[in-house]
Amino acid sequence: MKKSVLAMAVAASALAVGAAQAEVKIGFLGGFTGGIESLVPPIYESAELAVQHVNEQGGLLGGEQISMPTGDTTCSDASAASNAADRLVNSEEVTAIVGALCTGATIAAANNAAIPGGVVMVSPASTAPAVSELDDNDLVFRTVPSDAFQGEALAKMLLDKGIEEVVVTYVNNDYGRGLSDAFAATYEAEGGTVAENLAHEDNRADYRSELGTLSATGVPNLVVLAYADTSGQTVLRQAYEGGMFTQYIGADGMVGSGLIEGVGGDVLEGMIATRPGSPDTPGTERFVELAEAAGVEHDEVFASQSYDAAFLLALAIEQNGSAEREGLSEALRSVSSAPGEVILPGEWEKAVELIAAGEEINYEGASGSHEFDEAGDVPGVVEEMAVEDGEFVGKGFLDL
């Protein structure tokens, strides 16, 4: 999978560079390798689908095509993220960036390349509260709600299910710490007990020491806030081998087919989790239709948010009237919020006509509305997930 996704990304970039017509570059920063590599294909393909819709409907800025050069952050390596972003910003000279995906990668890319270069980034997957705290000159946005929101939702979901005592282990980075803090604060404030809360380092082969400490509490409910392809997978596999817990619980970084393939569907049967969801809106319905027609897995985690990130950036460039970086964040806020004529996923020609006529537009996207607040954050919904018959399935949105 890793090789096929990288090959697809390189091929797409090469074809775009070889095109004879003028082009506008929107970069894509993703963890094509590392802790979330099994989650990345539909995220990347959804962003590509947005680009395809723009290009097939006449392009932007009077007929220019979008190309999407890519960079691999590896998810966990800040140096790799910084280097990939630097290449996109200073060598590829992109106008804007979709990404990064993992929070640490987004923060490193923003601080070391995008912010100094004046490049707008829109992440479809970086959920840690730390993103909101960046001194970013209004350049870093996200189409996914903060983990301050998801942590609260996960806590209330467990209490509603009568799970009143848990142990937690989280990956020791911005994502894991932020989500763990948000979860524990709400869970304990609402009457739950976190019997033990341990950080762990990613990419280790053995977590039996941490698991021994957690299981010594006698609590049967294990919350793992980590990544499906690295530590999260190993923790759950070793927990099962040790017969330590009866209920597994996770969040968005764990919701992927790679986790089930690595640990086993029978082992994970009954596992529950949360992830950012897409509300039942006309924009969501339209995206499902478009994605199914294109063979894109629309129901995978962060797929709809990725489509929105790419489509919003294209709209903002059109609104800004050029491929220049200056003024793009203001244009992004304009096209994403009311008032204005509603634009749904795929409605590029309609948007271009309205912008040309001087009319305001309001994109209502695949993952809902994107009324960015001062920090570049959006409200959102959280979906309950569960492993049933060897796959993650949606169980409905959580009412907070």
Strand, coil or helix: what is 306? helix
d(CA 219, CA 76): 30
* Per-residue pLDDT band at 17 (split at 50, 70, 90): very low
Closest CA to 381 of 153, 199, 225: 153
What is the four-CA torsion angle of 105, 121, 348, 9, rounded to 10 degrees?
-40
The confidence score (pLDDT) of residue 21 equals 54
pLDDT digits (tens, 9 = 90+) for 59-110: 999 999 999 999 999 998 999 999 999 999 999 999 999 999 999 999 999 9
pLDDT digits (tens, 9 = 90+) for 229-271: 999 999 999 999 999 999 999 999 999 999 999 999 999 999 9
pLDDT reading at 335 higher than 80: yes
The confidence score (pLDDT) of residue 136 equals 98
Asked if the bond preceding 100 is cis, omega within 30° of 0, the reply is yes
pLDDT reading at 305 higher than 60: yes
* Per-residue pLDDT band at 1 (split at 50, 70, 90): very low
Polymer length of the chain: 400
Q: CB-based burial of residue 240 (10 Å sphere; 0-12 exposed, 13-18 middle, 19+ buried)? A: middle
* Per-residue pLDDT band at 380 (split at 50, 70, 90): confident
* Per-residue pLDDT band at 15 (split at 50, 70, 90): very low
Q: CB-based burial of residue 162 (10 Å sphere; 0-12 exposed, 13-18 middle, 19+ buried)? A: exposed
Is the CATH code 3.30.420.10 the one for domain 148-278+381-397?
no
350 C-beta neighbours (distance < 10 Å), count: 15
Q: Across the chain, what does the average pLDDT equal?
A: 94
pLDDT reading at 227 higher than 70: yes
Closest CA to 99 of 1, 147, 29, 151: 29
pLDDT digits (tens, 9 = 90+) for 340-364: 999 999 999 999 999 999 999 999 9
Which residue type, as a one-letter code, is found at position 400? L
Strand, coil or helix: what is 25? strand
pLDDT digits (tens, 9 = 90+) for 158-176: 999 999 999 999 999 999 9
Number of C-alpha atoms within 13 angstroms, CB side, residue 56?
8
d(CA 104, CA 232): 17
Q: What percent of the chain has pLDDT over 70?
A: 94
**Intervals of CATH 3.40.50.2300 along the chain:** 2-146+280-369, 148-278+381-397
Report residue 12: phi and psi, to 5°.
-60, -45
| 191-202 mean pLDDT | 98
d(CA 106, CA 78): 9
Least confident residue range of 5-19, 39-53, 129-143, 225-239: 5-19
Which CATH number describes the domain made up of 2-146+280-369? 3.40.50.2300
In this predicted model, which residue has the larger pLDDT, 15 or 89? 89
pLDDT digits (tens, 9 = 90+) for 113-150: 999 999 999 999 999 999 999 999 999 999 999 999 99
* Per-residue pLDDT band at 22 (split at 50, 70, 90): confident
